[in-house]
């Protein structure tokens, strides 16, 4: 077993291989990663976390790629977490995208990691939170988190970033309405990508009319052509304005408290379930409960209370 301290020291130095190993440890389960995450945690929470979400094919990865280039030109180091099964980072997209990403992959100032959407202990959001801890502790100035804005988990992840970009495209029509309940309300900045296509004005108008119904700060709407790099500076400028305003109003503080609260609550849930299983629910006992549930002799609440009672809770 490699020393968690050595690995942590490597991460804190910003060593790319150490960062990769640390993230793998997180993904493989918390038993091994816990001491590491504990060491890294006091060093995390720095840098800016930018969430990028929107429907599949909207151009999120293309936009992220452009943002990386621009941020690197500003001398900033960048981490990327792609929680997206169709992302180029996970090999789901066209060859051109993948080649572009590889160009960044050889840059020591860039760390790209894709994450599976399934199979995380304690949930996807918690796993993403821990990976953010690693990247932040490694000193990345900006971390971009790309998720497909379709699942509740994915939306939630981006919703607790320091600033959330929602990427829409012309031609969605009624889908803008459908998306409203989920991703629309988390947008700090709207990006209307594929502005080289017809219908940009209509999307902008639809967003504006939707926003007119809500109180509070109005997100900026920025048209882009991510494919050619048009509008990328404007996106970053809008992000900077949002961040300045959010810092001044205390919104940024509030959100960062919400982030660590969520990370704690999810960690606690995961630990509680794990401990309950260890102490009061051996496999044979679980099977016995399942049999009684199946026979309708026991209801799920009573079963849960039984286990909690054994734990003295």
Ligand X SMILES: Nc1nc2c(ncn2[C@@H]2O[C@H](COP(=O)(O)OP(=O)(O)O)[C@@H](O)[C@H]2O)c(=O)[nH]1
Positions touching ligand X (CB under 6 A) are 56-62, 86-88, 93-94, 97, 193-194, 196-197, 225-227
**Which residue, 53 or 87, is less far from Mg ion as judged by CB?**
87
**Which residue, 10 or 149, is less far from Mg ion as judged by CB?**
149
CA neighbor of 154 nearest in space, from 266, 53, 63? 53
Q: CA 239 to CA 132: how far, in whole Å? A: 19
**Which residue, 197 or 247, is less far from ligand X as judged by CB?**
197
Choose the stretch contacting Mg ion; rule: CB under 5 A; options: 87-95, 159-167, 222-230, 269-277: 87-95
In the structure encoding, which two tokens stand for residue 77, read together? 């180091």
Task: With beta carbons less than 8 A apart as the criterion, state whether 264 and 233 touch.
Answer: no
Question: How near is the Cβ of 58 to Mg ion at its closest, in Å?
Answer: 8
**Among ligand X, Mg ion, none, what does residue 226 contact (CB within 5–8 Å per kind)?**
ligand X
Q: Which of 53, 77, 87, 224 binds Mg ion (CB under 5 A)?
A: 87
Counting contacts by CB under 5 A, is residue 77 touching Mg ion? no
Cβ-Cβ contacts under 8 Å for 142 (sequence gap 6 or more)? 47, 48, 49, 50, 71, 76, 77, 78, 79
Q: Which of 60, 104, 140, 255 binds Mg ion (CB under 5 A)?
A: 60
Question: How near is the Cβ of 118 to ligand X at its closest, in Å?
Answer: 18
Counting contacts by CB under 5 A, is residue 61 touching Mg ion? yes
Q: Which helix (H) or strand (E) holds 127?
A: helix 124-137
Helix, strand, coil percentages (3-state) for the chain, rounded to 5, are 55, 15, 30
Q: What is the CA radius of gyration of the chain?
A: 22
**Which residue, 15 or 196, is less far from ligand X as judged by CB?**
196
Question: How near is the Cβ of 202 to Mg ion at its closest, in Å?
Answer: 24
């Amino acid at each position: 077993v490699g020393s968690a301290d050595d690995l942590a020291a490597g991460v804190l130095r910003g060593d790319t291989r150490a960062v990769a190993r640390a993230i793998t440890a997180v993904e493989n389960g918390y038993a091994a990663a816990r001491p590491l995450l504990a060491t890294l945690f006091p060093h995390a929470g720095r840098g800016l976390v930018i969430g990028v979400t929107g429907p599949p094919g909207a151009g999120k990865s293309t936009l992220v790629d452009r943002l990386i280039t621009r941020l690197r030109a500003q001398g900033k180091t960048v981490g990327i977490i792609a929680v997206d099964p169709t992302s180029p980072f996970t090999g789901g997209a066209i060859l051109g995208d993948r080649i572009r990403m590889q160009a960044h992959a050889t840059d020591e100032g860039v760390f790209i990691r894709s994450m599976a959407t399934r199979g995380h202990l304690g949930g996807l959001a918690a796993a993403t939170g821990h990976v953010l801890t690693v990247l932040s502790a490694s000193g990345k100035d900006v971390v971009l988190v790309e998720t497909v804005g379709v699942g509740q988990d994915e939306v939630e992840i981006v919703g607790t970033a320091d600033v959330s970009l929602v990427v829409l495209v012309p031609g969605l029509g009624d889908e803008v309405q459908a998306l409203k309940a989920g991703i629309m309300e988390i947008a700090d900045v709207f990006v209307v990508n594929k502005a080289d296509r017809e219908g940009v004005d209509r999307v902008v108008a639809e967003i504006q009319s939707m926003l007119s119904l809500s109180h509070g700060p109005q997100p900026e709407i920025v048209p882009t052509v991510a494919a050619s790099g048009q509008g990328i500076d404007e996106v970053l400028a809008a992000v900077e304005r949002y961040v300045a305003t959010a810092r001044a109003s205390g919104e940024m503080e509030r959100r960062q408290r919400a982030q660590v609260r969520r990370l704690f609550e999810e960690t606690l849930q995961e630990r509680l379930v794990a401990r309950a299983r260890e102490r009061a629910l051996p496999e044979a006992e679980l099977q016995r409960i399942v049999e009684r549930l199946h026979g309708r002799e026991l209801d799920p609440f009573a079963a849960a209370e039984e286990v909690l009672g054994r734990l003295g809770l």
